[in-house]
Structure formats: structure tokens, C-alpha cells
Amino acid sequence: MYEKKKNKKELLSWKETWIITRKALKLFYHYRPHMLFIHTFYTIYTAITPFIHIYLSARIIEELSGARNPQRLMELVGFTLIFSLLLGLVSSLTRRHFRVEDQFLYWLERQIRADKMMCMDYSLVDNTQTHEQLESLEQYANSGGRSLRRVIWFYDMILSGVISLFSGVSLTVSLFTSKVPENAGPLTALNSPLFILLIIGVLLGVTYLSPLFVVKADAVWAENAGNHNLSNRLFGFYGYLGKRTDKAEDVRMYRQDILCQKINADKEGTFHSNGLYAKLSRGKMGVWYVLSSIFSILFSGIVYVFVCTKAWAGAFGLGMVTQYISAISNLSGKVASLFQVLGQARNHASFLKMNFDFLDMENSMYQGDMKVTSLDNGTHEIEFKDVSFRYPGCEQYTLRHINLKFQVGKRLAVVGQNGSGKTTFIKLLCRLYDPTEGVILLNGVDIRQYRYEEYLSIFSVVFQDFTLTDFTLGQNVASGEEYDKARVEECLKKAGLEERLKNLPLGTETYLSKTFSKEGVDMSGGEKQKIALARTLYKNAPFIILDEPTAALDPIAEAEIYSKFNEIIEDKTAIYISHRLSSCRFCDEICVFDKGTVVQQGSHEGLLAVENGKYHELWTAQAQYYTSENTASVQTQP
Ligand code: ADP
């Protein structure tokens, strides 16, 4: 019932496959050049080694079955032993290194995507389409093996195939050039150039056909990769539910496990006995695999018959038989893999294209190059001039004709009901989005003209859904590895976390979870909000923006913060967003947002005096709410 997706992937041309695979390799090289170097060395080394062993063993057998010279035998055995020892040593030294690099590829791929997200325009990050794209890439990479990093595997396999081809051919050329003696009767036909060409042609054909069928089977997998992902998600969902402690209550109360198990037991499901893959294995895909095996066996048969017949006719001795059979088997295995991998790389190219559609997404925000300089008195001034804004892809304007000037060093409150546009206003101020119309000025200059990083540095923001890391308290407050301990403590004290800090045996060195340290502590929502506030203070930027900074605090902690707000903010310009009006009264000026426009502006007393104004309406509504909830509460103080 969940197998709705057909999701056929387009097959790219060989040229496109080459271009996009090379591009992916270059990307990995850019991130980790030594990883590619280690892969190259290890692959060449492991591809060549078997042929060296084959060559040396054949020489010993040749000597044993021929001249049997003890001196020569001793030399050969001694040389083989020393050489094997050296090869073994190098192999153990490099294998570990190779494995580590190989394991790291998983994280590297994640890092590449995370880096892209970090340097994307915020408008793209905030876009659901980007998230769907990212989600789909992760699904393909993790459950279907259709990852970006698979190109490294292709690289290894192709390199290994090419090296084996050269090594194998150099050990088998003499099979075709050595002649059977003239007295071998009809077997002298084996010397004919035509026969030699025919046998080479047959061997190449059979070598090509076996992997060709595997590639065809792989194409069936690739075509159905979308189904594979969906089923993996359904399959994995039970495990995900089972390990999430925060979901444990609902899972038990509503027996969500039964629903999951029912879906997982569905015989028609992708991985089950009547499912898609079982059907494909019994049908089309199974046939391709069987044909591949048949041609692989056929190849070995032809090689054995040809080599043994030539040896029987007297073209060469036992040592060369060993050399040819081993070298050709090895060579054919590698060449078959080479063909197979080339085909698989082509099947995979469309997935690489999906990755690059994401990684090559272009930013459209103008990046200015002006330096941010302060005004004569060392301050900064911001002005919104007739700013209107609608989110990309939306018809409706979220903000309309906003005109505002921040008074330097003053506290501005932005209030309004949910959805009135307060957070969007802050997003424009921080240049996460550019206005659709109008202009925002910093010190009289359009903010788009400034260097983005520098412009951002004048703001310190506590967003509603702020993010802390699992690193230490000090590192969180300072947003860096090194920090000024005394200043961190001072900021924590101002933010109201002094008592809690005293109770932490490791103080600012305490980790904010157990992820990186057993001694880590889990802070409450309110404590985390205070840490976020301390981080804002530590940054010491001229503008402080607080988006509902006390939402997770209990009323006592909230009152405590407000009572010393002036001390906290000092001489900075503060913009404070809230839908709780009582918490805005300490501000010098209040801006009332309604349906995306500023409908009123003024002081608390002034606004309250306008009885038919929005502010009065909101204030009264909140006051009533509080009084109906608790008759003991103060009527004029919501
Ligand atoms: P507030 O902060 O006052 O609650 P917001 O600025 O968050 O209001 O939202 C204002 C309006 O913009 C809402 O109708 C909201 O649904 C819409 N909005 C917010 N973010 C986006 C977005 N990324 N894409 C489209 N619309 C959005």
C-alpha cells in the first residue's frame, strides 16, 4: 500500500557520467587531498600484489618441474619469502590508514552537505523545497547506497581494474605468442594468428557479458531506489519510535508499536516475500544475475581448455600453466569488475546529479563590500524606509510599508499578536531576507552595501528557538573554544544564572549535556534561555535583539530579569519582541504590529491612553485573561 513511487531515474550519457563523476572526485579531493592519495596508493598496491605472487610462484614451479637446480631454487624461495614479508609489512601499515579514511567518508559527505547549508542564502535554508531535497539525498545515501561518496569506490575499482589489466596482460602475452612445436600435428592450428584473434575475441566477449548482466540488474535497483527509501523509512520507524524516550508515553498509550509491526509484517511490503524486490529477484533481476554467473563459468572453462591444450602440445611447461591460469582468472575477475563498475557508475550518475543540483544551488543575495563604520559618537543608527516584504513564492505581503528609526541607546519593544510579522521584521533587520520593496539603512547607507559578516556583527540576537551546543558552558556563552572566564561569569551573573553556576563543580567548564562528558549536565528550558541571554551579552554588539527572551522562564525569574534590564543592556540599543505586553512597559518606545503593518508607536502610557487603539485592545484582552484566570492578579498588569 505504500509502494506508490516509481521514481524512475534518467540514465545520463557516458560523457555526462564522466563529467559529473570527475566533479565529485574533485570535490572530495578539495576537502581531503590526502584521502585520495591514500586510496590511490593502497588500490594500486593491492591490485599489483597478486600478480607479483603469481609470477614468483610460477618461477618456483617452473624450476621444480624443469632444471631442479638447488642453488637457483634456494634463491627463488628466499627472494619470494623476503618479498612477501615486505609486501605484508607495507600492506598492514597502509591498510589501517586506508580503512580509517574510508570510514571517514561517511562524515565527510555529511560535512559537505552541512557546509553547503551554512553558506546558503537564508531564504534557501528556510525553504521547504531545500529541505525536501536534502532529506531525499540523505535517504538515497543512507538506505540505498546511492551516495556522493560512492564515487570513491568507483575510483578504487576502476583504478584497480586498469592496473590489473596491465599487470595481467604483461603476464599472459606469451600465452598467445608462444608456439606449439611443428611436430604437434593438428594442434599446430593453435599457432595460427586467426585462431589467436578468435580466442582473444571470445575471451573479451565473455568477460564483457558477465558484468553487463550485473549492470542490468543494478539498473533495476537504481530504478526502484525511491521505493527502497520509503520502505526503509517505514521499516526503520519502529526502531526509531522504540529508542525515543520522549515518545515512549504515546507509543504505550496508543500502542503505536502494533501499527508499526502490522506495516512491517505486510507481505506485500517492498522487502517481503510478495514484495517488489522478491518479485524482481524471481523475475527480471534474477535472470540477469544467473546469466552473469553462466558467462563467468564459461570464461574459466575456455581459459582452462586453451592453456592446457597448448601445454599438452608442448608450447610451455607447468610453471607457465600456473602463471597463465592464475593471471587470467585474476585479470578476468578484475576486468569484469571494471566493466561492471563502469556500468554502475553510469547508473549512479543521476544520483550524483541530484547531489550537485543541491550543492550548486546559487545564492542570489547581493553581497556588499563596504566596511561598517560607526557614527561620530561611536554608535550605529538603523532606519526602515517604506519596507514591504513577502516570502519567496508567496503572493501575500507579510510586511507592508514599515517606516521606523531606532533611537540609539533606547529600548524599543515590538508587540503584536502571533502572526502579525514581528519575527519577519527581525529577519529583515538581520538581513536573513532582503526587503521586497523599500530599503533598510545603517548609518544612512543601504545595508546591502555592507560586507555581510561585518553587518551581522553589530547584532546580538536571542531567537525564540535559539540553539546551544553540547560543548561547555563557557564555550557556549563565548561562542568559541577559548574564552574570558571572568567575562563569561559576569554575563551569566547578569542573565540570572549566578546561583546555578555556583552549584556546578566544574563551573564554566561544565558540558551542557552528556554527549561529550560524563560530568555533563542537562539544563532546564529556563536555564538554557538565560545562557542564551548571557551569550548575547558576551558578544557585546551595539544592538541587542531579544525575541521572547523570557518565554521559558518562571514568573519570578522573569521579574528578576526585567528588574535589572537596564543594567543588562547598558548603553546598547535594544529591540525587544513579545506578545506579552506587561513585559514591554520598561521600553522607551513601543511599536505595535498588526497584520504586517505598524499601526501604533509611542510610550506605554501614551498608547494606553488611545482607547480605540490596538495597544489598548491587546492590553485589555490580556488583563482580562489574567484576571479571569486568577482573581488575585492585578487588573491593569497583564
Ligand atoms: P510573529 O513573529 O508576529 O508571530 P511572523 O513574522 O513569524 O509573525 O509571521 C508573519 C506571517 O508570515 C505569518 O502569517 C507566517 O505564517 C508567515 N511566515 C513566516 N515565516 C514564513 C516563511 N518562511 N514562509 C512563508 N510565510 C512565512
Q: Give the pLDDT of residue 1.
A: 44
How many Å lie between the centroid of ligand 1 and the Cα of residue 456? 22
What is the DSSP code (8-state) at residue 178? S
**Dihedral over Cα of 21, 23, 25, 31: its sign:** negative
How many Å lie between the centroid of ligand 1 and the Cα of residue 132? 20
Q: Give the pLDDT of residue 183.
A: 85
Q: Which atom of ligand 1 is nearest to the CA of 547?
A: 2
How many Å lie between the centroid of ligand 1 and the Cα of residue 397? 10
How many Å lie between the centroid of ligand 1 and the Cα of residue 422? 8
Q: What percent of the chain has pLDDT over 70?
A: 91
Q: Which atom of ligand 1 is nearest to the CA of 126?
A: 23
Beta strand pairing call for 573-578 and 411-416 = parallel
Mutate to test the pocket of ligand 1, among 125, 128, 417, 423 (most ligand atoms within 8 A of CB): 423
| pLDDT band per the 50, 70, 90 thresholds, residue 135 | confident
Ligand 1 — pocket residues by CB below 6 A? 126, 391, 394, 398, 416, 418-424
| pLDDT band per the 50, 70, 90 thresholds, residue 144 | low
Nearest C-alpha neighbor of 107 from the set 184, 31, 49: 31
CA distance 471 to 506: 13
Q: Give the pLDDT of residue 330.
A: 87
What digits encode the pLDDT tens for the residues 354-385?
999 999 999 888 888 899 887 767 778 899 99
Please state, as a whole number, how many other Cβ atoms lie within 10 Å of the Cβ of residue 560.
Answer: 14
pLDDT winner (highest mean) among 135-139, 148-152, 197-201, 633-637: 148-152
Within 8 A by CB and 6+ apart from 493, the residues are 501
| pLDDT band per the 50, 70, 90 thresholds, residue 8 | low
How many Å lie between the centroid of ligand 1 and the Cα of residue 394? 11
Alpha-helical (H) ranges within 411-471 are 422-429, 452-456
- Paired with 42 in beta bridges are none
How many Å lie between the centroid of ligand 1 and the Cα of residue 390? 10
With cell 573479451, the residue in question is 204
| The three grid cell numbers given for residue 290, joined into one nine-digit string | 544467473
Mutate to test the pocket of ligand 1, among 123, 418, 424 (most ligand atoms within 8 A of CB): 424
What digits encode the pLDDT tens for the residues 204-244?
888 888 888 888 888 887 777 777 666 777 777 777 777 77
| pLDDT band per the 50, 70, 90 thresholds, residue 557 | low
Q: 228-256 b/e with 16+ CB inside 10 Å = b?
A: bbbbbebbeebeebeeeeeeeeebeeeee
Is pLDDT above 70 for 561? no
- Torsion angle (degrees, nearest 10) of CA 154, 156, 160, 161: 0
| pLDDT band per the 50, 70, 90 thresholds, residue 299 | confident
User: What is the arithmetic mean of pLDDT over 537-548?
Assistant: 86
pLDDT winner (highest mean) among 187-191, 235-239, 322-326: 322-326
Q: Which atom of ligand 1 is nearest to the CA of 425?
A: 6
Residues listed for the chain: 638
Q: Give the pLDDT of residue 321.
A: 93
Q: Which atom of ligand 1 is nearest to the CA of 127?
A: 23
Strands (E), 171-310: none
Is pLDDT above 90 for 475? yes
Q: Give the pLDDT of residue 40.
A: 95
Mean of the per-residue pLDDT values for the chain?
A: 86
Sequence letter at residue 423:
T
Q: Give the pLDDT of residue 562.
A: 67
What is the DSSP code (8-state) at residue 447? G
User: What is the arithmetic mean of pLDDT over 605-629?
Assistant: 79
How many Å lie between the centroid of ligand 1 and the Cα of residue 451? 27
Is pLDDT above 60 for 161? yes
* Ligand 1 atom 24: residue of nearest CA: 391
| pLDDT band per the 50, 70, 90 thresholds, residue 247 | confident
Q: Give the pLDDT of residue 2.
A: 44
Q: Which atom of ligand 1 is nearest to the CA of 394?
A: 25
How many Å lie between the centroid of ligand 1 and the Cα of residue 318? 82
Q: Which atom of ligand 1 is nearest to the CA of 593?
A: 3
* Ligand 1 atom 12: residue of nearest CA: 398
Q: Give the pLDDT of residue 489.
A: 94
pTM comes to: 0.75
Listing from the earlier edge strand, what are the strands of the sheet with 573-578? 459-462, 543-547, 573-578, 411-416, 589-594, 597-602
DSSP string, 207-219: HHHHHHHHHHHHH
How many Å lie between the centroid of ligand 1 and the Cα of residue 399? 10
* Ligand 1 atom 21: residue of nearest CA: 391
Beta strand pairing call for 459-462 and 382-389 = unpaired
How many Å lie between the centroid of ligand 1 and the Cα of residue 418? 9
Q: What percent of the chain has pLDDT over 90?
A: 41
